[in-house]
Amino acid sequence: MSIASKLHRLGDLMEKSGKVIREKGFRFFIGKSCLFVKKYISRHFIQPFEAPARSFSEQPHSVSEVICHAHGTLQPLSVFRSPDRGRTACLNFVTDALGTSLLGGVGTALILVSQYAVRKNMMLRIITRQEKANPRDYYDFMALMHEAHPKKVVFWSDCGRDDTGRHAHPLEISDSDEFLTTSWWTTAAVSAADTGCKTFYIIQETEDFFYPYGDMRLWCSWQMNSPDVRYIVNSHWLWDYFKVKYPAICAHGTYFEPAFPRFLYRPQTPDAGGKHKLFFYARPNHPRNLYYTGLKVLDEAILRGIIDPDQWDICIGGDACDNIVFAGGVKPEHPGRMTWSEYARFLGKVDLTFSLMYTPHPSYPPLDSLASGCVCVTNSFENKTDCAFGNNIIFRELSLDALCDGLREGVKLALDTPARRRNFEELSLPSDWSETLKDTLDFMEKYG
């Protein structure tokens, strides 16, 4: 609108206002003006009043809904069935998230599920329950691992479900579908959906260790004793432990050893003129990694002269964010969050890894370290007392003195270049996923 038009409209408004004042009086004009302004503001700036929604606890709910509200990970998948006619068989991979979770267990599960889908010419559907997946994460990971992906891969997430697990767009399934779950809670969510499909559960942890004695630990044990799924166990350490603690897993399952590809894990040329490198794997938010015990042991090892700060740099990697200062004012380095390829290159320059795990399996960092040519000190627990794959890993009991002695032995071996190299050359750690997963894929094809 031009300036002339605005002035013209303003003149008309002033003329009308003057006429109202002359005929009705000034008080009447002010009252009408206030009423007009009030209506205008209400219409354009104030939202209509709505009664606040009642909270979850104020509404009646079934027992199932109350449990799903309290424990969102247990909310059943929302599914609907469709006929098999003309539909490509689908392998559904159910996990919490991809992204940064690809290090370790989720990455292992992706290799397994992808190889199985390729073998059976199935469509792979990656289902994430806690956040939407970025397809690039999957394809980049498969390229890094030199692994083929299925011809068709789709991504689906129900992370937008409500407090009781309802989702606006249910998952389409059919009788030919199969599921591979990655935890007891994703297994429970699939089982509760009553899909009627074959379900494989890859188990890579003593998952009951995640909880104190309570509901979740009890329900976890129920799921790990279920005869209704087929179990796939990562490593002989866990398999041997489950033989005693959870025999149903071994009665209805199989196991494999993880692989550490030589193109990814290998010794790297150390930085020129640098100190020896000690890597402490730190995850303060995962109690089973004994983060604070590890700090205490390292501090004591410095005090005892086991670790000489003039010869060693201490690198704290993982999820740690504390501003640590060890005895004698020794400040560790923090490499920060790393991608898988960055982590592998970093490990190739490490001389000694210190990694604790309060479970019957060693976890990935000690084995990653073996594959990368460095020495590792870790703890024994239950049946986890040694490693048949190589001699550059040292197990010690969970006491301050024993772990300090382990670090003393680890420092000596790390600095003994001929012995350390000989141990690396004699390493029997699997390096090819296709070889180490062959029997597992046969097992899945038999029961799928």
Backbone angles phi, psi at 199, to 5 degrees: -125, 125
Residue 170: per-residue pLDDT? 86
**Topology agreement, domain 67-256 and domain 276-425:** yes
Cα diameter, the chain: 110
Is 395 in contact with 380 (CB distance < 8 Å)?
yes
In SS3 terms, 198-225 reads as EEEEEECCCHHHHCCCCHHHHHHHHHHC
- The pTM for the full model equals 0.83
Residue 417: per-residue pLDDT? 94
Is 110 in contact with 143 (CB distance < 8 Å)?
no
As a whole number, mean pLDDT of residues 408-414 equals 97
The listed CATH number (3.50.50.60, 3.40.50.11090, 3.90.180.10, 1.10.3720.10) that belongs to domain 67-256 = 3.40.50.11090
Task: Inform me whether the pLDDT recorded for 152 exceeds 60.
Answer: yes
The listed CATH number (3.90.1570.10, 1.10.20.140, 3.30.70.940, 3.40.50.2000) that belongs to domain 276-425 = 3.40.50.2000
Length of the chain in terms of residues written:
448
What are the strands, taking DSSP E only, across 324-364? 352-354
Domain extent listing, the chain = 67-256, 276-425
Residue 23: per-residue pLDDT? 67
As a whole number, mean pLDDT of residues 374-379 equals 97
Mean pLDDT of the chain: 88
Distances (CA, A) of 268 to 92, 147, 264, 371: 38, 23, 11, 12
**pLDDT tens string 163-218:** 777 776 788 898 899 999 999 999 999 999 888 899 999 999 999 999 999 999 99
